[in-house]
A and B are shown apart, each in its own frame.
Chain A
């Protein structure tokens, strides 16, 4: 094969495949179509926006929880005061691990009215779970 032949084939290929022939002009909608997909991609990759904690809705629940917790603690202390000797009570109040001390000192759980304690804890959990459900419902609504 001669150099001329090689050059002729090169010329032919360049004419067929070169950057300028045939020069297709992209449709005017191409940029718009690409950007629409890019925006969709950007939104999808960003994910759902983090939800702000609903303090206003949660506040009554949290306050109620605190009250119930305080009542529970008061009930525990009252029970302990009724059933334990005064020395044990003072020791109970001074110790940071008072629950362990109360259990080990009292021995008899029924005397602390654990049934009432359990009910009180359940009542405290209700507002917390309600708050959680409210957040989940709001999140689902946003995702939809």
Chain B
């Protein structure tokens, strides 16, 4: 993600200015991180409009707790950890609105999966399936893939040991396969059929 390649010192400079009383300097942080935060929020709630509201809450909490950022880790790690907590609380309060997997349109033919439209539909279905996972597996899967399969980064964001994250990921994938297998009526919800259902 390009936004994450921003020089860290820009963030640190803005943090120092905000803590020094220059509230307007926070706008720089918002401009740099609004894309990633809105997109991460979307992963949690599956609703673009709500994602912006959740990102707003995350930024507001970041502003309130800016003094707790010590600079010993990357600003992005601190911000993502904080935002993840906000999003987790939000979806606990108002669960994500999802399309029931059984109601999702099934691709007409395996060949059509190559079509962009079908691919997007598949993505949406997989996303919905992830959102139905228990919170700890859902968070592990969302953060791991959102952070480009960077296990240490995802573990730092979730504040769990890497081993724990690996275990959650493994269990999450297992549950996901079973859920996705239901897309294919008449087929048992085995790992193998689920994988066929997902990958086509």
CB < 8 Å: which of B124, B149, B191 contacts A14? B149
- Bound CA span A35–B24, Å: 8
Residue of B nearest to A25 (CB): B35
CB < 8 Å: which of B42, B124, B130 contacts A24? B42
Question: A12 near B36 (CB under 8 angstroms)?
Answer: no
Per-residue contact bits, chain A 96-120, to B (CB 8 Å; 1 contact, 0 not)? 0000000000000000000000000
Question: B191 near A1 (CB under 8 angstroms)?
Answer: yes
Question: With a CB–CB cut-off of 8 A, which chain B residues contact A25?
Answer: 35
Name the distance in Å between B98's Cβ and chain A's nearest Cβ.
13
Question: A17 near B30 (CB under 8 angstroms)?
Answer: no
Residue of A nearest to B35 (CB): A26
Question: With a CB–CB cut-off of 8 A, which chain A residues contact B63?
Answer: 38, 41
With an 8 A cutoff between CB atoms, is A23 at the interface? Answer: yes
Name the distance in Å between B6's Cβ and chain A's nearest Cβ.
14
Number of interface residues of B (CB under 8 A): 47
- Bound CA span A15–B121, Å: 12
Per-residue contact bits, chain A 10-37, to B (CB 8 Å; 1 contact, 0 not)? 1011111111111111110011011101
Question: With a CB–CB cut-off of 8 A, which chain A residues contact B142?
Answer: 17
Name the distance in Å between B22's Cβ and chain A's nearest Cβ.
10
With an 8 A cutoff between CB atoms, is B56 at the interface? Answer: yes
CB < 8 Å: which of B27, B60, B148, B149 contacts A31? B27
Question: B36 near A19 (CB under 8 angstroms)?
Answer: yes
- Bound CA span A41–B64, Å: 8
Question: B27 near A18 (CB under 8 angstroms)?
Answer: no
- Bound CA span A11–B1, Å: 17
CB < 8 Å: which of A19, A21, A38 contacts B26? A38
Per-residue contact bits, chain B 20-43, to A (CB 8 Å; 1 contact, 0 not)? 000110110011001110110011
Question: A33 near B56 (CB under 8 angstroms)?
Answer: yes
Name the distance in Å between A25's Cβ and chain B's nearest Cβ.
7
- Bound CA span A35–B59, Å: 9
Question: With a CB–CB cut-off of 8 A, which chain B residues contact A10?
Answer: 149
B interface, CB within 8 angstroms of A: 1, 4, 23-24, 26-27, 30-31, 34-36, 38-39, 42-43, 48, 51-52, 55-56, 59-60, 63-64, 119-120, 122-124, 126-127, 130, 141-142, 145-149, 173, 176-177, 191-192, 195, 198-199
